[in-house]
Amino acid sequence: MTHDHPHATADTDPTAVFAVSRACVTFDGECVVDEVDLVIRAGEVVAVLGENGAGKSTLVRAMLGLTPLSHGGVRVHGVPVEQFRDWDRVGYVPQRLLSAGAVPTSVHEVVESALWGPRRRFGRTRRSPDVERALRAVGLWDRRDDRMDTLSGGQQRRVLIARALATGADTFVLDEPTAGIDADSSARLAATLGELAASGATIIVVTHELGIIAPIVTRALVLGRGDHGSVRYDGPPRREELAHHHAWHHSEELAPAEAPPAPVTLLEP
Amino acid sequence: MDLLQYDFLQRALIAAAVVGLVTPLIGVFLVQRRLALLGDGMGHVALAGVGLAFLFGTAPVPTALVAAACGAVIIELIRAKSRTAGDLALALIFYGGIAGGVLFTSLAGGRSSAALNQYLFGSLSTVSATDLVWLGVVAVIVLVVLAVFGRDIFVLALDPDLARTQGIRTTATSMLLTVLAALAVVIGMRTVGLLLVSAIMIVPVAAAQQLSRSFRGTAALGVVVGELSAVLGLVASFQLDVPPGPAIVVLALLFFGACAAVAVPLRRRRSRRVAAARPAVLHEEVAA
């Protein structure tokens, strides 16, 4: 990637996938993300941790250009996020689809639609090998013709991961991928993420707990409200450091209001 | 078929066939985007256009086309600003449309009020050759736009955030769908009428989704139901001497009822089959 703004230090780093500088997000006058400086380099596996309301999802959404910043900037591969066009390189995995079920939509269609957009308007994607490979990777190829809304929550999450895989992205952003999913799905998820990490992908995971992804995480970012910006801790995922910043560890965690109470059976001993 | 010896009926049948093909294709996106009632509002706005056409002596179809398209753009601009303001603005524009339509028509005087009825509930005998040309042109435009941008609209309706991270311009795409709905209203106004045109967009889709497992399947079956309702409904309206709009919509609703009746046992059998093939899947939900 070219770096056309020599005065901005983070942009001159050619391995920076995301460069966040002094980012603030304000909702109704309240600072949700405050003064975040962050450079995420190619190949890093970053866990974004913190309590509910710490701004984890908001920060990640701002990095993807989904939430406007009130101050500061985000660059993706050296380009300001508002002008970034190479979205095939970034696979975003939301917690759930906003509108699954309004019209019956097959699993295959959900994954296939990852290939659609301004760049590929006409090619036929019905028998795309990319879709088959992605659905096989998450173990749902034999459910491809089923309606998305007949799958369990964990299976739907795996379909959304397949969606990100199908584009051939090298950067993956996952929002709470393990929250409220069954043991089989989280084991498969961990395996898939492990393979991606081994292949050199950049992975950013918003999560309440390291849990099953702990073995592959190279960096932990703990967010919280404080006097000195949102970042409480940024460094290697050492257990004692995290425990210090995670007074809430484990069961005090409250489930988000709209979601069914999430079973906190993530595979940590 | 001796029905075809009447020129006016030939034209009405061609118009109905176009309606049955095009409107469910827009409707399936409207349902997916949870805007099933948008077509209704666009119909009201188009009615103001018809009233203006009577008042100023312009051609009704193109005037309604301009009114509906302008209404679509205004609604979308307000919706983009704020969701709650958008809901209220939608209501105001719709009431304005229907009140304006009737008011302008009455001001125009003469036989306009009788003609208004034909635009409200459709008409067998008044589809002119010029109307057919307008219909054909608009239908081709709609189909070409869908072929190019339909996939973008699908992703937007699936999840706006995903659409944006795929580089899809969400506001523009959203506006495109609303304008397409306005065009579909104009396509349906002569045959089905402006008060019921939304039904022929939505009801065939509602029928189709009882039976299908995919978006493409819903769209295809929706077109089949739309065509059957439009063409058979038109023939029935001729035989029974009733306006075509209500005949077409009642037929579509009957198709919906039939599809829903078939769907219940079908779904039960499918879930039994899935359960037999994969006992773990059903338990997973309980265990999770």
Predicted confidence (pLDDT) per residue in B107-158, tens digit: 988 777 788 888 898 888 888 888 899 899 999 999 999 999 999 999 999 9
Look up residue B151 and give its DSSP letter. H
Dihedral over Cα of B44, B45, B46, B47: its sign:
positive
Residues pairing with A39 in the sheet = A19
For chain B positions 189-248, those within 8 Å of chain A (CB to CB) are: 205, 209, 212-218
Pairwise CB contact (< 8 Å): A113 & B158: yes
Query: Is A103 within 8 Å of B285 when comparing Cβ atoms?
Result: no
In this model, does residue A250 exceed pLDDT 60?
no
Predicted complex ipTM = 0.85
Per residue in B196-224, pLDDT tens?
999 999 999 999 999 999 999 999 999 99
**What chain A residue is nearest to B159 in terms of C-alpha separation?**
A98
| End-to-end CA, chain A | 43
What are the tens digits of pLDDT across the range A110-155? 999 999 888 777 777 788 889 999 999 888 999 999 999 888 888 8
Instruction: Check which CATH number belongs to the domain holding B233 and give it.
Output: 1.10.3470.10
A92/B162 CB distance under 8 A: yes
**Is residue A42 within 8 Å of residue A202, measured between CB atoms?**
yes
Write the DSSP assignment of chain A as a string of letters: -----TT-GGGG-TTEEEEEEEEEEEETTEEEEEEEEEEEETT-EEEEEE-TTSSHHHHHHHHTTSS--SEEEEEETTEETTT---GGGEEEE-SS-SSTTSS--BHHHHHHGGG-BTTBSSS--TT-HHHHHHHHHTT-GGGTTSBGGGS-HHHHHHHHHHHHHHTT-SEEEEESTTTT--HHHHHHHHHHHHHHHHTT-EEEEE-S--GGGGGG--EEEEE---TT-SEEEEE---HHHHHHH-TTTGGGPPPPTTSPPPP---S--
A129 and chain B in contact, CB less than 8 A: no
> How many domains does chain B contain in total?
1
pLDDT of B286 above 50: no
Average pLDDT over chain A, rounded to an integer: 80
> Is there a contact between B158 and A97 if contact means CB atoms under 8 Å apart?
yes
Q: Which amino acid is at B278?
A: R
Nearest residue to A149 (alpha-carbon basis) of B169, B208, B285, B276: B285
Q: The tokens 């809304």 sit on which residue? A: A149
B151 and A113 within 8 Å at the Cβ level: the answer is yes
Chain-chain contact of A117 with B151 (C-beta, under 8 angstroms): yes
Is the CB of residue A138 less than 8 Å from the CB of residue A91? no
Name the maximum alpha-carbon separation found in chain A.
53
Provide, as residue numbers in chain A, all residues whose Cβ is less than 8 Å from the Cβ of B288.
Answer: 152-154, 180-183, 263
Residue A267 has, within 13 A of its CA and on its CB side, a CA count of: 15
Parse chain A into domains and list their residue ranges.
Answer: 9-247
Q: Which residue has 């209501």 as its token pair?
A: B91
Of A98, A146, A155, Cβ closest to residue B159: A98
Tens of pLDDT along B92-110? 888 999 999 999 998 988 7
B159 touches chain A (CB under 8 A): yes
Q: Which token pair is B72?
A: 């679509």
| Confidence check: pLDDT of B170 > 50 | yes
Question: Is residue A269 predicted with pLDDT exceeding 70?
Answer: no
Which token pair is A179? 């929250």
Residue B266 structural domain? 2-287
Tokens describing residue A166: 């199908």
Report pLDDT for A240: 57
Q: Does B167 touch chain A (CB under 8 A)?
A: yes
In CATH, the number for domain A9-247 is 3.40.50.300
Q: Are A171 and A86 in contact (CB under 8 A)?
A: no
Instruction: Please state, as a whole number, how many other Cβ atoms lie within 10 Å of the Cβ of residue B5.
Output: 8
Q: What is the pLDDT of residues A156-197, one digit of tens each?
A: 989 999 999 998 899 999 998 887 777 888 888 888 899 999
